[in-house]
Homo-oligomer: A and B are copies of this chain.
């Protein structure tokens, strides 16, 4: 250093200052992010819905078991496919007997972080969703709970699984217990991502473009709704705050959202804010799957919610951030269980 020319020393000093400035800026961004988002917990058990190994095993089996629906050819995993990160890559799924569902499949991964379930929030929690689905015409097609129990009774391997999962119940095969078990299984399905490592303090977990995207995601105002542990999933919001959503998405028909549930004019075009975890893996987008590509979905959102027209570069950065929300598929979701053996003969 002694022999270093003055200008070189000056450059070195400048470089050091820039490095410190960059690090300070990096730390400020991390601190800001830590105030807005939370990392995923190791599971989504609650005091009301605890997880036990036995319930998870039973619930996982039934989640994948196509024998429980009317024609014994669809299971929860038909729409919540592991290969598509808990979705089905369709705008709207087809239910039993070729009956179309009215809205796009939200992923069941990390779904326990959501404050309510379904696009219109008309399910209070995962267990409520399953409970209702078990006898709905589109989802299960079974006429009543007895029909569901009959199917389970035809598969001898289920009785001991129910007994183990609900040891205090003399008649453990109930709709409530089926829902509790499948809910317990779903509450294990968390996908920690590079962004979670970043929130835990690992600056290297995100590539530079993702950090730039995070900054733009914050500064553009996306975080007003997409915040918390789910990066969304924590509130309701009108879709189309500054512009009717269907003008940007081409949606047809126009869905009135939560209004159809509550009949409250304040709920017109209101939907549950979607969690953005694994969003890069779950096209198409929105309640009707009307937009196929993630960059387009980002542009639609900033336009109709925030009145901002994003250019391609900013959009690309935000997409890079959203890609950092992709976690690994949980092993107990990616891997099919071997189901209790038994044939059922549905009426045709």
* Among B89, B94, B335, contact of A334 (Cβ-Cβ < 8 Å): B335
Q: Does A89 lie within 8 Å of B343, measured CB to CB?
A: yes
Q: Does B88 lie within 8 Å of A341, measured CB to CB?
A: no
Q: How far is the CB of A270 from chain B (nearest CB, A)?
A: 24
CB contact list, A104-143 vs B, under 8 A:
none
Given contacts A94-B73, A336-B83, A345-B292, contact A89 B64 (CB under 8 A): no
Which residues does chain B contribute within 8 Å of A329, judged by CB atoms?
A: 336, 338
CB contact list, A225-282 vs B, under 8 A:
280-281
| Count of identical protomers in the assembly | 2
Q: Does B280 lie within 8 Å of A341, measured CB to CB?
A: yes
* Among B292, B335, B338, B345, contact of A343 (Cβ-Cβ < 8 Å): B292
- Chain A contact residues: helix, strand, loop or mixed: loop
Which residues does chain B contribute within 8 Å of A281, judged by CB atoms?
A: 338, 341
Closest to A289 in B: B343
CB contact list, A40-81 vs B, under 8 A:
64-67, 71-73, 78, 81
Q: Does B344 lie within 8 Å of A84, measured CB to CB?
A: no
The answer, yes or no, to whether A221 is at the interface (CB within 8 Å) is no
The answer, yes or no, to whether A85 is at the interface (CB within 8 Å) is yes
Which residues does chain B contribute within 8 Å of A67, judged by CB atoms?
A: 89
Q: Does B89 lie within 8 Å of A66, measured CB to CB?
A: yes
Q: Does A85 lie within 8 Å of B335, measured CB to CB?
A: no
Which residues does chain B contribute within 8 Å of A83, judged by CB atoms?
A: 64-65, 336-339
Q: Mark A326-348, 1 if CB is under 8 A from B, else 0.
A: 00010000111111011111101
Closest to A94 in B: B73
Q: How far is the CA of A94 from the CA of B346 in the complex (A)?
A: 11
- A-B interface, 9 closest residue pairs, ranked by CB to CB distance from nearest: A284-B343, A82-B336, A283-B343, A83-B336, A292-B343, A98-B98, A83-B339, A73-B94, A64-B83
